Amino acid sequence: MVTIDTVRTVVGIIGNIISGCLFLSPVPTFVEIWKKGSVEQYSAVPYMATLMNCMVWTLYGLPMVHPHSFLVVSINGGGCVIEMIYVTLFFLYSHRTRRLTLFLCLFSQLIFLTLLSILIFTSIHDVNKRSAVVGTICVIFNVATYASPLSVMKLVMKTKSIEYMPFSLSLASFGNGVAWTTYSLFPFDPFMAIPNGIGTTFSVAQLILYATYYKSTKRQITARNAKGVGEVNLSEVVVGNNDQDPHNINKIGVVLNGL
């Protein structure tokens, strides 16, 4: 007989696999950075945000904070390692001023995590209260990361083109959100359910936008090719902080929904 724990474990493993693929999706970008020896106009912000996200979720999944959450620790612990590698590459291939900024940001994150850990382990002795405090912080950080998909969706609606929102990433983000939302229901965990539910909603919105503007994007690409303009690489995700020229936008990594 299949038990709830078995279902939860299977869903968690699926979530680990999907999340792992999302963590590794920026690898081609960093291979390009390594070959060129420069980060050029790439932005480190999404990777720093994802690193912070992974660190607080790893803390949340510890047995002393939220028992029976090994699969939360495994994927986010692995995410910390992967994102740290990305940040290190940014540090190595950035100019001096940017290196200083990256160092200060990383140092601030580590100080925050250290102080949070000391606070919950020395001042809060009830596991449920620890879970509530760290879980609330996780939700806050997750909500903050939604600026990236929102900016991409805004760009899609403005340009009526899904060139800057790869279908594979949108679909993977949807699968990731569904997996972890389902995981949070056995038993119900509001701190995982809320951000992942919101993330799933954003992913559905992206898929709807993809279906809406797929044909118009093909027409735009055909028109540009007819004029001899090169096609944009759809494997790059962008952050819409440069509305004047959508073809000159910083490329970003993946910020996971909820985990």
Is pLDDT of 253 > 60?
no
3-50 per-position pLDDT tens digit: 888 989 999 999 999 999 999 988 998 998 999 998 887 888 889 989
- For 74, the token pair is 């495994």
As a whole number of angstroms, the distance between CA 32 and CA 208 comes to 31
Instruction: Give the pLDDT of residue 152.
Output: 81
What torsion do the CA atoms of 181, 185, 190, 191 make, to the nearest 10 degrees? -50
Give the model's confidence band at 87: pLDDT under 50 very low, under 70 low, under 90 confident, else very high: very high
Average pLDDT over residues 229-252: 40
Instruction: Give the pLDDT of residue 166.
Output: 79
- 244 vs 115, residue with greater confidence: 115
Is pLDDT of 248 > 60?
no
- 214 vs 251, residue with greater confidence: 214
Q: To which H or E segment does residue 23 belong?
A: helix 4-24
As a whole number of angstroms, the distance between CA 106 and CA 233 comes to 30
Give the model's confidence band at 259: pLDDT under 50 very low, under 70 low, under 90 confident, else very high: low
Average pLDDT over residues 49-73: 94
Average pLDDT over residues 185-204: 91
Provide the mean pLDDT of the chain. Answer: 84
CA angle 199, 114, 60 (to 5 degrees): 35
Residue with tokens 């299949």: 2
Instruction: Give the pLDDT of residue 228.
Output: 64
Q: How far is C-alpha 121 from the chain's CA centre?
A: 28
